[in-house]
Amino acid sequence: MPAAAPTLAVWAGPKTAEYVALFRTAAPDIHAVAADDITDPSGIEWLAGWRLPLGYFARFPQLNVFFGLGAGVDAVLMRDDLAPHVQVVKLADAGMAPQMAEFALMGVLHWQRRMSEYSQQQAACEWKPLRPRLRADVRVSVLGLGAIGGEVARTLADFGYRVSGWSRSQKSIAGVRCMQGADALRSLLTDTNVLVNMLPSTPETRGLINHEVLAALPVSAYVVNGSRGDQLDVEALLKLLDSGHLSGALLDVFATEPLPADSPLWRHANIRITPHVAAATLPAEAVTQIVANIRRVARGEKALGAVQRQRGY
């Protein structure tokens, strides 16, 4: 690193001090400082952050690179205070993939072990064992096979499920039937017991999981959404749940967060809700990734996780 390395401004809300301390420990030669403590932000070229206040990017007219403290960058790319030339870099994983795999597995097990049906029996004080479902017979389809979605698909396959995956570009994952393209999506849906959404939020994926997609799933299929809420048509989901076509859903993300108290999703018997906790960034791992990328950028190399802004990821 050059002796006069540019300052890294950090904004992470109440976790800002924690991140600054981690950056200073991991890379003492990089001048990490809380963004709010910078009296003259006009010369700042690097900024690391997450969910910055509206208009915050405008404080840094010389900003060249923004390092996101998360895997999703859709909210950042839609902001009008982020200059078009700024390179956005997302985290590849930072400990989120194993957590997301656990979340997906929870949803798959919920369907496999028929927990929605047993919950209904409990409410009616009924004791009626149901026919078991074997892992080898459970068909799981994962939408999105990036760093996190790919790990989710791989983990579920390792557990013995019949896993298929769908993505924009061709992927190859051991034990996973990988598919791509609109025609492949249709055939994948009809061969699915549990649909797991791991797609990034882009103009092409927003609203993708609509009534047509959900209705193409077999009767009694289950939906797990741990990616972004703007991809799922919740009205269509509710209609297909109420009609009996779908058996249930595990939802962690929503178009509006926190989920409004008057949302019918809260009170639906066959929907399980978690408050956007499927996978949390592990600060130490995030800092390690960002420091490595800062060094790449300083050497004139391309950062890993650099976002193609026209594609949205």
Q: Is the pLDDT of residue 3 over 70?
A: no
Q: Quote the pTM value.
A: 0.90
What band does 4 get if pLDDT is binned at 50, 70 and 90?
A: low
Q: How far is CA 223 from CA 61, 73, 92, 112, in A?
A: 43, 23, 25, 12
Whether the CB-CB separation of 226 and 104 falls below 8 Å is answered with yes
Asked if residue 2 belongs to a domain, the reply is no
- The predicted structure's pLDDT at residue 193: 98
Q: How many CA atoms lie within 13 A of 222 on its CB side?
A: 27
Query: Using 50, 70 and 90 to split pLDDT, how confident is the model at 309?
Result: confident
Co-location of 225 and 77 in the same domain:
no
Hey, how many other C-beta atoms are within 10 angstroms of the C-beta on 97?
A: 22
Same domain, yes or no: 110 and 79: no
Secondary structure (DSSP) of the chain: --TTPPPEEEE-GGGHHHHHHHHHHH-TTS-EEEGGG-S-GGG--EEEESSPPTTGGGG-TT--EEEESSS--HHHHT-TTS-TTPEEE--S-TTHHHHHHHHHHHHHHHHHTTHHHHHHHHHTT---------GGG-EEEEE--SHHHHHHHHHHHHTT-EEEEEESS---BTTEEEEESHHHHHHHHTT-SEEEE-----TTTTT-B-HHHHHTSPTTEEEEE-S-GGGB-HHHHHHHHHTTSEEEEEE---SSSSPPTT-TTTT-TTEEE--S-S----HHHHHHHHHHHHHHHHTTPPPTTB--TTTT-
For the chain, what is the mean pLDDT?
94
Q: Is 110 a catalytic residue?
A: no
User: For this structure, is 309 an active site residue?
Assistant: no
**Predicted pLDDT of residue 149:** 96
List 139, 154, 228, 272, catalytic entry = 228
pLDDT tens-digit map of 242-266: 999 999 999 999 999 999 999 999 9
CATH of residue 68: 3.40.50.720
Torsion of CA 230, 236, 237, 241, to 10 degrees: 170
Residues 101 and 90 in one domain: no
Same domain, 141 and 176: yes
- Of the residues 276, 295, 296, 309, only one is catalytic, namely 276
Q: Are residues 142 and 241 in the same domain?
A: yes
Q: Are residues 111 and 257 in the same domain?
A: yes
For 273-298, write each residue's pLDDT tens digit. 999 999 998 999 999 999 999 999 88
Q: Mean per-residue pLDDT for 187-210? A: 95
170: domain range? Answer: 97-273
Residue 71 pLDDT > 90, yes or no? no
Q: What is the mean pLDDT of residues 299-306?
A: 92
Domain tally for the chain? 2
- The answer to whether residues 111 and 178 belong to one domain is yes
For strands 221-225 and 194-197, give the pairing: parallel
pLDDT of the residue at 123: 94
pLDDT score, position 2:
45
Cα distances from 44 to residues 40, 55, 66, in angstroms, run 8, 16, 11
Question: What does the pLDDT average to over 201-211?
Answer: 94
Q: Is residue 305 part of a domain?
A: no
Residue 112 lies in a domain: yes
Does residue 109 carry a pLDDT above 90? yes
> Do 86 and 135 sit in the same domain of this protein?
no
In this structure, are 60 and 141 located in the same domain? no
